Structure 1
Amino acid sequence: MKWFEVVTLAVCVLVPTAHSQSKAWCYHLPSCNDTTWPTIFPEYCNGTRQSPIDIVSASATPNANLTEFTFVKYDDTSAMTSMTNTGDTVQVTLKSGVKISGGDLSEQYDSLQFHLHWGNGSSVPGSEHTVDGKRYPMELHIVNSKSSYNGNTNLAVKDSTGLSALGFFIEVREAPDSWHNLASYLPNITEKGQNVSIAAGFSLDDLLVGVDRTKYYRYLGSLTTPACQEAVVWTVFKEPIKVSKDLIDLFSTTLHFNDSSSPIMINVYRSLQPAQKVWTQSIKASASTTCFSLSLLLLSLVLGWSWS
């Protein structure tokens, strides 16, 4: 998940801190890649609640409070307003009014933007989180800020639950038309700072089609880029988004870190950080499973008596 600066507008918009931090950070140079972030930004990047992590599914603690989310205007086909090459990812800005609630969040959150992390095409996976050691080709992060902060992310990052991030893995499968539409804008933003408006016609729901959003992991973590503030309630969904190989490859062959003479944007993800406590939904036994278990118990008792 990206760190951001506040743009001087009536409403605060999130942009990666590479443009605002006095100290430079990067993914691709030895002097500023993620191995150096704890030194460059020691206040948070060297903290104890850092992201991303490897999620060990068998160790996830059941939590009955992890209910379904309510998604507001995720079906709005004009919710995505623009796409930007930030110099370290592709970021899509969302219009005002897109929100989430539920899911054991403390209040409603405003959905501000989403961005992606990837490796080197479909052959070198680049999701930030992993599950049981598996790294997916890409990961999409939808960034949300507590509605009570009215878009003021300076306040949100000072709150241990000020931000909520929705993480979606992306795997190689045939992609829906919405992803073809989204990827069609990439040739317009090949260089850092380039921005293109997104025409109405597809929604966030369209991009997330096929994902069961009732099944997810939850943990408390941080932003995954400097300054790595530990202010994020992470929700990582279990089912991946399906995107075709050619579209995944397009991200790592079209975009540059800076201008057209700079390296192609690849491996834009942070290394795994120390484990955190992870929660997930409680598993409810079905009636048939319960009956079967009781039958086995009775059978064992009968056999035990017959041999006594």
Structure 2
Amino acid sequence: MEMHIVSMKDGLSPDSAAKQEDGYAVLGFFLNAKNDQDTSEAWTTLTSFLPNIKEVDQMVNVDQNISINGLIGDVDLSKYYRYMGSLTTPQCSEAVVWTLFHEPIPVNSTLIQMFPLMTSFVDIYRPTQDLNGRQVYTSASSVPSHSWCYEGHLCDYAPSNWSFLPEAKCGGEQQSPINIDTQSTTEDESLGAFTFLNFDDKHAIESITNTGHSVQCNINGSVEVSGGGLPHVYTVLQFHFHWGSVASDGSEHLLDSKRFPMEMHIVCIRKDLNRSEALAQSDGLAVLGFFIEAPQTSKSGSHSSSTSDSSGTTNPPTSSTSDMEAWTKLTNYLDQIQTVNSQVPFSDEISIDDVLGNVDRHSYFRYNGSLTTPQCNEAVVWTVFKESIKVNQNLMTKFPESTGYENIYRPQQEQYSRTILSTKVSAGSSLQVKSARLFYPLLVFVWALLY
């Protein structure tokens, strides 16, 4: 059997609800007949009225206490499927947001048999209909076991098995993420300044989505990036995040074998290509990667104190701060997207510039790699910035706490023969800061000698 709980959109009449695609919401529960199931009080009470409604259109008043919760019982309401559909009886109005719960309600078989016996109705169900391109979404806990997942999560395709996924490129020799050994990078003078078009647009973020693997902010198509040694102009599609747990770090890239608490990826596509074309080109996509950590932390490996080497600034200085108001507003959306594929409009005025803050965008590393999730297409020009975004710890912990996702990062991949390029020491780098600290006392000394 199947039970449908039918609800109508508040403020509508049945006629007007039938004309809107979301005019109705129906909760569907499968019923599983169990011979050894204890007779539920709620179901016993409900079925006791069946002998009194044997005639068509016959109605009786329910004069005993029956709650919907009593009928549902202990079914796990966190596991369900969602799709847009119709009423299953004429006029079959396509006006229903359907929710089907994964776990059936166990009901004693004797009580289930009373429905056909008392009503004389049998086979009262509509045949299945074609999906016709519609997508069926799942809640986080209902993701099928054959889907891919991160290390430590339950699925058939953990990162070590991603290469076995259909059409996956995850076993190639230009995979991401990698460890960036700053001593082995090569300075490249052609890696100059970027041109960031509409990164200051406070209306560019259209929506925020729970993808089932991360939190993703979707961009309206007006934001572009070029320069910085990129071979083409790229349109920003979205940005998303990777994190560990409340107690552990979870950036995807490593810097001198050190992992940061979080990492943000701004994903861009070549302006002259569509998605399928871009995935087939080694430079079809460009991803801007930013490490994220708490400000003024002394944690080992968090790179909060500035150092430098032959390739310029490698460890982020503590001076960089991001807009905490922007991050507060952004993380406030997390509680609204707790189910897989849930998406809400982004109504706050926040630009990508606000999220990045004053992080140094002139100092970065460059290499050719891949997407870090299946199908792992080796189509990415990677830019990993040397300076980290500083975000308050309580805001970072909202990501694992609100989504329930932990350790959502791909393990380090082999570099093989790839070269990692680095910008030269630039204004604002720690090397120049140190030089300035030496220069100013010298200037004062010279001034004292002259005057």
Q: Structure 1 length normalisation: TM-score? A: 0.80
- Quote how far apart the aligned CAs of 1:206 are: 0.6
Please tell me whether the aligned partners of residues 176 and 370 of structure 2 are also in contact (alpha carbons under 8 angstroms): yes
- Quote how far apart the aligned CAs of 1:99 are: 0.2
Distance 1:218 1:197 in 2: 33
Please tell me whether the aligned partners of residues 139 and 170 of structure 1 are also in contact (alpha carbons under 8 angstroms): yes
- Quote how far apart the aligned CAs of 1:42 are: 6.9
1:178 is aligned, of 292, 303, 326, to: 326
Number of matched residues?
259
Larger radius of gyration: 2
1:242 is aligned, of 365, 390, 397, to: 390
Q: Which moved more, 1:200-209 or 1:173-182?
A: 173-182
Distance 2:267 2:358 in 1: 20
What's 1:265 paired with? 405
Please tell me whether the aligned partners of residues 26 and 34 of structure 1 are also in contact (alpha carbons under 8 angstroms): yes
Query: 2:245 aligns to what SS in structure 1?
Result: coil
Q: Deviations over 1:91-133 (max 9, x none)?
A: 1100121000001111110001000000102x20000001001
Q: Which amino acid aligns with 2:206?
A: T
Q: Which moved more, 1:40-49 or 1:246-255?
A: 40-49
Q: Which amino acid aligns with 1:126?
A: G
Q: Which amino acid aligns with 1:24?
A: S
- Quote how far apart the aligned CAs of 1:43 are: 4.8
Query: 2:159 aligns to what SS in structure 1?
Result: coil
1:131 is aligned, of 255, 276, 280, to: 255
Mapped pair 1:163 → 2:285: yes
Please give the residue correspondences for 1:146-295 in structure 2 after superposition, counting only pairs within 5 Å: 146-149=270-273, 152-173=274-295, 176-255=324-403, 264-275=404-415, 276-283=418-425
1:106 is aligned, of 225, 231, 241, to: 231
Q: Which amino acid aligns with 2:234?
A: Y
Distance 1:252 1:277 in 2: 34
- Quote how far apart the aligned CAs of 1:223 are: 0.4
> What is the RMSD of the two structures over their aligned residues, measured on CA atoms?
2.3
- Gaps of at least 5 residues in structure 2 are 1-145, 296-320, 439-451
Q: Which amino acid aligns with 2:196?
A: F
Q: Which amino acid aligns with 2:259?
A: R
Identical counterparts, % of pairs: 42
Distance 1:58 1:158 in 2: 32
Q: Which amino acid aligns with 1:228?
A: C
Query: 2:397 aligns to what SS in structure 1?
Result: helix
- Gaps of at least 5 residues in structure 1 are 1-22, 256-263, 293-308
Query: 1:233 aligns to what SS in structure 2?
Result: strand
Please tell me whether the aligned partners of residues 146 and 156 of structure 1 are also in contact (alpha carbons under 8 angstroms): yes
Query: 1:148 aligns to what SS in structure 2?
Result: coil
Distance 1:186 1:158 in 2: 33
Please tell me whether the aligned partners of residues 225 and 233 of structure 2 are also in contact (alpha carbons under 8 angstroms): yes
Please tell me whether the aligned partners of residues 41 and 226 of structure 1 are also in contact (alpha carbons under 8 angstroms): no
What's 1:24 paired with? 147
1:47 is aligned, of 147, 156, 172, to: 172
Distance 1:272 1:282 in 2: 26
Query: 1:156 aligns to what SS in structure 2?
Result: helix
Q: Which amino acid aligns with 2:419?
A: K
Please tell me whether the aligned partners of residues 147 and 156 of structure 2 are also in contact (alpha carbons under 8 angstroms): no
Query: 1:223 aligns to what SS in structure 2?
Result: coil
What's 2:126 paired with? none
Query: 1:114 aligns to what SS in structure 2?
Result: strand
Query: 2:160 aligns to what SS in structure 1?
Result: coil
1:93 is aligned, of 206, 213, 218, to: 218
- Quote how far apart the aligned CAs of 1:31 are: 2.2
Please tell me whether the aligned partners of residues 62 and 283 of structure 1 are also in contact (alpha carbons under 8 angstroms): no
- Quote how far apart the aligned CAs of 1:38 are: 2.0
Distance 2:235 2:168 in 1: 27
What's 1:8 paired with? none
Q: Which amino acid aligns with 2:372?
A: T
Q: Deviations over 1:209-264 (max 9, x none)?
A: 12000000000000001110100000000001111111111110111xxxxxxxx2
Q: Which amino acid aligns with 1:141?
A: H
What's 1:116 paired with? 241
Q: Which amino acid aligns with 2:149?
A: C
Distance 2:425 2:264 in 1: 26
Q: Which amino acid aligns with 2:270?
A: K
Distance 1:86 1:129 in 2: 21
Distance 2:222 2:252 in 1: 28
Please tell me whether the aligned partners of residues 148 and 155 of structure 2 are also in contact (alpha carbons under 8 angstroms): no
- Quote how far apart the aligned CAs of 1:24 are: 2.3
Distance 1:162 1:30 in 2: 30
What's 1:144 paired with? 268
Distance 1:247 1:283, change over 3 A: closer
Q: Which amino acid aligns with 2:394?
A: D
Distance 1:90 1:266 in 2: 12
Query: 1:45 aligns to what SS in structure 2?
Result: coil
